[in-house]
Amino acid sequence: MRRTVCFLLILAAAGCNEPMYQGRSLSSWMYDLDAEDDYKRRAAAEAMGGMGEKAAKAIPKLVDLLEDTNPGVQAFAEDSLVKIGPSSIPALEEQLARPEPAVRMHAAAALVRIDPKHQKGGQVLAQAATGVGNADLAKLAQDVVVKLGADGVPLLLPYLDDPYEPVRLTVIKTIGKMKEKGRSAFGPIKERLEKEKSTEHRLAAMQALAKIGDPKDVAPVLRSLLEDEDGDIADNAGALLRYIGARDSASGYEGGDQAAEGDAQAASNKEKKAAGKAGAKKKGK
């Protein structure tokens, strides 16, 4: 009996020395990382993040959750490993060679969120962001790269010259989402605009330039396209000039699709009005 009491006192003392989160000890939360219930695993992973570096003991279990069957649990595990910090790096690096795409992507995302200059993590994340085999994973990776801002640009630039068109298109659009933080990609995307033959790719490049570039640098590029032989390019060049505030300094038709629709509607209204007047005159006679 005395031995049992002593053992319980030792456990209690150990628990007192552990970090706490919302009234529960680290060991208590770690127990829930193995729960069958998705919500419990997710809440436990979130708790580890709430404890920060004090929850380093939970790193192996959190890494295991990167391959959880529930995407939400995977995301919370990644986030918690980031919040625990640099002590997570060795375990995460080991996951970069795993065969499961989701594990590699989450590990890479965590690594670059901890250290934006992590070379191998950045390479794996960029591969996931430009991948066309799994759209959901690619979207998650793209979101991470966009949030990296200026640090994310160098990860994507090598893929601007990829021989596969969908990859180039994805890179152009992803950099465009960075807005001003993607400004260092202005030159490479401008060069890509000049090389591309596809209307879709050229439009994406124009839109990306308008979002990431300084208007004084973007305007000359767009003006040079106002007389482009591709009508969609010419029309959108005008619309984008208006978007960046350079509408008054341009020449030629600049309405774009919306303006064209407005002109067509106005013409239709004029025709209806004229027809109505003519009908009224005829009726009066």
Domain count, the chain: 1
Per-residue pLDDT tens digits for 190-238:
999 999 999 999 999 999 999 999 999 999 999 999 999 999 999 999 9
Q: Cα–Cα distances in Å, from 113 out to 39, 116, 121, 172, 246? A: 25, 6, 9, 22, 37
- Inside any domain, residue 240: no
Are the beta carbons of 33 and 65 closer than 8 angstroms?
A: yes
pLDDT for residue 2: 52
Higher pLDDT, 148 or 15: 148
Average pLDDT over residues 55-76: 96
Q: Is 285 within a domain?
A: no
If 0-12 CB within 10 Å is exposed, 13-18 middle and 19+ buried, where does residue 157 land?
Answer: middle
Contact 209, 236 (CB under 8 A): no
Burial class (CB in 10 A: 0-12, 13-18, 19+), 52: middle
Q: Distance (Å, rounded) from C-alpha 121 to C-alpha 186?
A: 25
Q: Domain for residue 126, yes or no?
A: no
Whole-angstrom CA distances from 89 to 51, 71, 118, 153, 223 are: 17, 21, 10, 22, 48
CA distance 240 to 256: 8
Asked whether residue 102 is domain-assigned, the answer is: yes
Q: Give the structural domain span for 65.
A: 16-115
For residue 65, the domain's CATH number is 1.25.10.10
41 or 132, which is more confident:
41
Does residue 140 have a pLDDT over 60? Answer: yes
Residue 218 domain-assigned? no
Q: Does pLDDT of 278 surpass 90?
A: no
Nearest to 222 by CA among 208, 211, 238: 238
Region class of 23: left (phi > 0), else alpha (psi between -120 and 50), else beta: left
CA dihedral 201, 206, 211, 123 (to 10 degrees): 40
Q: Is residue 146 part of a domain?
A: no
Task: Report the percentage of the chain scoring pLDDT > 90.
Answer: 78
What average pLDDT does the segment 60-65 reach? 97
Question: Is 171 within a domain?
Answer: no
Q: How confident is the model at residue 132 (pLDDT cuts 50, 70, 90)?
A: confident
Domain membership of residue 24 (yes or no) is yes
Higher pLDDT, 255 or 94: 94
Name the token pair of 139.
């979207």
